[in-house]
Structure 1
Amino acid sequence: MTKPLREKTTSVYALGRAPDNQQERFRSPLNLRWLDNIPSSIGYYLAGFAEGEGSFTASLRKKRDYKNEWQISLAFNVAQRDVSTLKLFKQHLKCGRLQCRSDGVHYFVVGDYPSLQNHVVPFFDRYQILSENKRKNFLIFKKITSLVYQKKHLTHNGMKTVLELREELNKGKGRKRKYFIGDVIEESSTTTRRTRSIEREDMV
């Protein structure tokens, strides 16, 4: 009896790689399949556009109902009067929202921690920003995002690390800060001492 011939594709696997039509499928984990679907020409175009018109920001907001009384607000945003490119960001990054100011300037904004960690950061890891200064800001922003996503900022040391990184973000003459590291660390320490004092009183 004649043995059936094996498909030629088995020899391709023997060489240690998938067939050409399956390489895309194995390139990224399941949660990053969306990234593989972005045409490289679009990816590099958006990265270049963000290099000129985008920004990575980390701001502080005082929140009395928070454990340490401070909220870290992170955002990636791109501003432009023509909304067409901003729609491409939303379409291909699979996150964010579009906004329009009263003066006609449109914004693409991503501000929630999961989308920043799982969409914005992987996108710019693959389609890298080339300018030294903006690339440095992205890498700092990436570290801050990772810490906040893991809730490390809820500890005293974690918050201190986030604030130290924030001091290096967007350095320059035009940078504005309402709160500085000394404001937060000092108040957080006072809050911690006050909480511990109340806990001890409850135990008496």
Structure 2
Amino acid sequence: MQLRYTLMGFERNYQIKIPSKQLNKQYYSTLSKSSLNNKLNPWFITGFADAEGCFSFAIKPDAKSKLKWRISPLFVIKLHIKDIAILELIKNTLMIGKIRKNGQNSILYVVESIKELQVIVDHFNKYPLVTEKASDFLIFKQCFEIIKQRLHLTEKGLFSLIGLKSSLNWGLSDSLKKAFPNVTFVDRPEYKFNGIPNPYWIAGFTSGDGSFHLNLKKSDTNVSHRVSLRFSINLNIRDAEVLKGLVIYFNTLSKTSTVVKGMLNQENQYVSKSDNTVSLAITKTSELIEVIIPFFEKYPIQGVKSLDFADFKKVAMMIGAKEHLTIEGLHRILEIKLNMNKHRDW
């Protein structure tokens, strides 16, 4: 969710374009058993947007405008350029939007025309967001209706937009606060978590915010104690109920397992809080092998993270077969670890 922290910079720079030849030749290897002709499940798109999407509208001075301000509504997903294939899949599924370069290593999926933003609004009306971002969407939708009806060209409509923007993302910039000192601030819509709607939502959300980690710890007594696996998701504390909902969902799956019988039945064992962060962590090998891995085999991760999942699964199977107890197996696992996550040469 780093996009929220870089939004102001994005609004200044989002129109930088990347050459089509560079898009087509360099980055398509990041798909998970997919091709660019495939379509994503709509719930996957919602899950991924919950993790990485942003609803916004820029308000900038415009001397040529009657009110001296220009309004630009936007839906954006910002990723590292290595994951451009996910954005291509989203673009090809929704059949709208543009992909643009943003700085040295970032890529943007941008929807900005009224006609195409209507597709975005219709999508999230039908496949609602699950996290706190649902409140951002409700505010954005109000703004979109004002703009669509061209009421933003009136002073009343402009002030309504300023008030709504005060509750969207990180609120008003200092320059807008100075320009509109008498604006009436709008309360943010109340957020309520309503459960996990669909397994593809989990796949999309995990493709954005999930992590698959492999750890090796030194041990003088037992080689097997050196290897541990961790599936985790870290969120802002305001989305704590989402992680509790994931525990409940996976607990339901665990009850059908031949090995794991409702082992994910204590949310406090898996969800922890620290300052403004809440974390889900599943580390038991039996739960990973019997519940988590089969789930993501059925509902695949997309992008570079799918490669981390494949390595994660490979090591889990090695542990299940006791190969981690051998020196040869331990060396193989170490080699895998050295090429996972941030160490991967993409």
The TM-score normalised by the length of structure 2 is 0.39
Distance 1:169 1:102, change over 3 A: closer
Q: State the alpha-carbon separation in 1 of the partners of residues 78 and 71 from structure 2.
A: 22
1:123 partnered with 2:123? yes
Q: State the alpha-carbon separation in 1 of the partners of residues 122 and 163 from structure 2.
A: 23
RMSD (Å) for aligned C-alpha atoms: 2.1
2:58 touches 2:71 (CA, 8 Å); kept in 1?
Answer: yes
Please list every run of 5 or more consecutive structure 1 residues that lacks an aligned counterpart in the other structure: 1-37, 187-204
1:180 partnered with 2:180? no
Distance 1:160 1:176, change over 3 A: closer
Shift of 1:85: 1.3
Shift of 1:176: 6.4
2:165 touches 2:172 (CA, 8 Å); kept in 1?
Answer: no
Question: What residue number does 1:111 align with?
Answer: 112
Question: What residue number does 2:156 align with?
Answer: 157
Would you identify which runs of 4 or more consecutive aligned residues in structure 1 move more than 3 Å? Answer: none
Mapping of 1:1-204 within 5 angstroms?
A: 42-81=41-80, 82-116=83-117, 118-131=118-131, 133-171=132-170, 177-180=173-176, 183-184=179-180
Shift of 1:101: 2.9
Q: State the alpha-carbon separation in 2 of the partners of residues 148 and 179 from structure 1.
A: 22
Amino acid in structure 2 at the alignment position of 1:114: K
Amino-acid identity (%): 26
Deviations 1:2-29 (A, max 9, x none): xxxxxxxxxxxxxxxxxxxxxxxxxxxx
2:166 touches 2:172 (CA, 8 Å); kept in 1?
Answer: no
Q: State the alpha-carbon separation in 1 of the partners of residues 175 and 105 from structure 2.
A: 30
Deviations 1:88-126 (A, max 9, x none): 22112221100123422221001122211x211001111
1:76 touches 1:111 (CA, 8 Å); kept in 2?
Answer: yes
Distance 1:157 1:176, change over 3 A: closer
Q: Which one has the bigger helix percentage? A: 1
The TM-score normalised by the length of structure 1 is 0.64
Equivalent residue of 1:103, what SS? coil
Shift of 1:185: 7.7
Equivalent residue of 1:179, what SS? helix
Deviations 1:121-141 (A, max 9, x none): 00111111101x200000100
Question: What residue number does 2:308 align with?
Answer: none
